[in-house]
Amino acid sequence: MTHWTDKVPQAARDYMAGRRLDEVECIVADIAGVARGKAMPASKFARQEKFYLPNSIFLQSITGEWADNPAGAFTEPDMVMTPDFSTATAAPWTADWTLQVIHDAVDQQGNPVPTAPRNVLKRVVQLYRDKGWNPVVAPEMEFFLVARNIDPNQPIIPPMGRTGRRAAAKQAYSMSAVDEYGKVIDDIYDFAEAQGFEIDGILQEGGAGQVEINLNHGDPVALADEIFYFKRLIREAALRHDCFATFMAKPIEGEPGSAMHIHHSVTDMATGRNIFSDDRGQETAAFLHFIGGMQRHLPAAVALLAPYVNSYRRYVPDFAAPINLEWGRDNRTTGLRVPISGPDARRIENRLAGMDCNPYLGIAASLACGYLGLIEAENPRAECLGDAYMSRDELPYNLGDALDIMADSAPMRSVLGEDFCAVYEAVKRNEYKEFLQVISPWEREHLLLNV
């Protein structure tokens, strides 16, 4: 009889070799990308094929409040959670021997729960496959290491480095700058190795204490799973060394924000060839159609790529952040960049997504735009050959406007699923309403005695 541990990836088996497994964390990503679920003794997990969680976890906001259910009665029926053993991986920072397993969420009739973010991404990927295409992504993760901040009223400051000085800004690609917090980076590498994750590269970004990790290209769901796991392992590595890791889009005033750039290509399922290149290695019509779809539909996806009020502070000219939907070859001022590559690796980089987005939803939304472009088969505007920061603004300026555009986009709602879009909008409007009730230091400083 096959034991469930025989179904898990080799990295998880290597981690457990010669040891007794103590605990299994059964998890699923909520709307924000926070891990929700249950931890249980390994012996119980072995006897239990599924467990249950209320579907209301997808109505919970980042503040812990619940949005009104767009479907009506708030009865909180249970979802059936079944383990996807291919996602089993170590939790190497725990005191005992623990594995994490992402679970699939289905209703009691066995249908995928449409509001589960991982199911939304699977839905979009399946739309591609129904057309004979395989979408391929390669994400980049930017984040800040910051000094511990236990008082939300105090600004975020950079961490103390090994020299006894705080991390400095404007040190992009500096090896000595990233060495300042080398012990954190060492633990990130060690945790990633224990979990079976391959890092393509780590570098110092432009902000003080800002780091970028690049991942290899691959299947969108598998890469979203990795980012979901990576966020947790990076936080745990930072905590071991008396600092925080934050994935906020703009945690420090005056510093650049943190993006989750997404590189896209599409292969033909029958041949395995990149559909963005023809037999002569030249760009295809499909390549231009993909870009055209992103230009037309990304405004309706921004609410998923920039999901919080803080997200829109990242969209600032000349801070290496996109404020436009222009496209260009090897042009980092454009929102849509075509990197230098050979024909087999021809791809499009979407630079709009913030690192604060749920990786399942950010990748799903970006792929949705490209898919609509392939279906609609319309070309993009002419390539931007200069400084795109000088071009017109085309993105919503705040979360409320972004949600309005998403609500009015029938194509985006069709691809992502109407049930999901209704729940997402309800959660985000609830968060936005809560934010507007908070009086900021700026208001107290400038309005209290002057108006």
Convert the pLDDT of each residue in 98-132 to its tens digit: 999 999 999 999 999 999 999 999 999 999 999 99
Six-digit token pair at 14?
Answer: 């290597």
Tell whether the model's pLDDT for residue 173 goes beyond 60: no
Convert the pLDDT of each residue in 237-278 to its tens digit: 999 999 999 999 999 988 889 999 999 999 999 999 999 999
The alpha helices in 280-438, defined as continuous H runs, are 285-305, 359-376, 399-407, 410-416, 418-436
- pLDDT, averaged across the chain: 92
- pTM comes to 0.95
Query: CA-CA distance, 363 to 141, in Å (whole number)?
Result: 13
- Please spell the DSSP secondary structure of 437-451, one letter per residue: TSPPHHHHHHHTTT-
Tell whether the model's pLDDT for residue 1 goes beyond 50: no
User: How many percent of the chain have pLDDT more than 90?
Assistant: 75
Tell whether the model's pLDDT for residue 43 goes beyond 60: yes
Tell whether the model's pLDDT for residue 219 goes beyond 90: yes
User: Contact 209/144 with Cβ under 8 angstroms?
Assistant: yes
By residue count, the chain amounts to 451
Convert the pLDDT of each residue in 271-316 to its tens digit: 999 999 999 999 999 999 999 999 999 999 999 999 999 999 998 7
pLDDT at 176: 67
User: Contact 335/352 with Cβ under 8 angstroms?
Assistant: yes
- Please spell the DSSP secondary structure of 303-321, one letter per residue: HHHS-SGGGGGS--TTTT-
